[in-house]
Amino acid sequence: MKRRISLAQIVAYNNPHGTVRVLEQFGIARPKNRAQAIAALNHIQKKHGEKAVLAIAKEHPDTELILRANEDSSDFCASCEQYGMDGKKSGCGCGCKGCGGQTHSSIEGEKQVGTTVDQVKTMIDQNKEIQQVKAEFNELRKSQDLRKQIFSELKQNAALIGLLAVGGYLLLKPKG
């Protein structure tokens, strides 16, 4: 079974300066090592709840990516990482509006279809579905392994079970 990595661990390992900022914000002294940093982040999460979680999340190394995944992205070109011609942001000039960067060239000089944020969201959803199927498969495998183990135990102890059954029969059999 895979061990999950906590928000505190991600931030402590990938953004030590941000970790110190969060801890100082909550009046916690600078930690001496990552283990202390993780323990301190977990402590403030338990003590201050949502306020602490939000402060820690702001220091997540992929905060911008996570926030972008939740915004309206119909006119975002992932190839040039700019917005199209709708006035939101002065783009790269490709004129893409949800086209996926079709006017961008690849390294071979051919037109390429870039990955839009909507496509990334779709891939993330598909990955979640795959992970769910894998988890269900693993649970099924565990139950099959348990059945095999029980059957193996029964086979190994068949003589003892038979002896107990005969003894029980003889004990409960009416005399006469």
Residues of the domain holding 47 = 7-61
Burial tier of 120 (Cβ tally within 10 Å: 0-12, 13-18, 19+): middle
Q: Is residue 81 part of a domain?
A: no
Mean pLDDT of all residues in 142-148: 85
The verdict on residue 50 lying in a domain is: yes
Is residue 98 situated within a structural domain?
no
* Radius of gyration, CA atoms only, the chain: 29
11 contacts 59 by C-beta, under 8 angstroms: yes
Query: Considering the domain boundaries, does residue 28 fall inside one?
Result: yes
Q: Can you give the pTM of this predicted structure?
A: 0.40
Residue 60 contacts residue 66 (beta carbons within 8 Å)? yes
For residue 42, name the pLDDT band (cuts at 50, 70, 90): very high
Does 96 fall in a domain? no
Question: What percentage of the chain has pLDDT greater than the value 70?
Answer: 66
Count of beta carbons in the 10 Å neighbourhood of residue 59 = 21
Residue 72: the pLDDT is 53
In a domain, 136, yes or no: yes
Q: 3-12, 33-42, 89-98, 166-175 — which one is most confidently predicted on average?
A: 33-42
1: pLDDT confidence band, cut at 50, 70 and 90? low
Neighbours of 118 (CB within 10 A): 16
**Per DSSP, what are the bridge partners of residue 82?**
77
In a domain, residue 106? The reply is no
Tens of pLDDT along 85-132? Answer: 444 444 454 555 444 445 444 444 444 444 555 666 777 777 788 888
3-state secondary structure of 173: coil
Q: How many domains does the structure of the chain reveal?
A: 2
Residue 100 lies in a domain: no
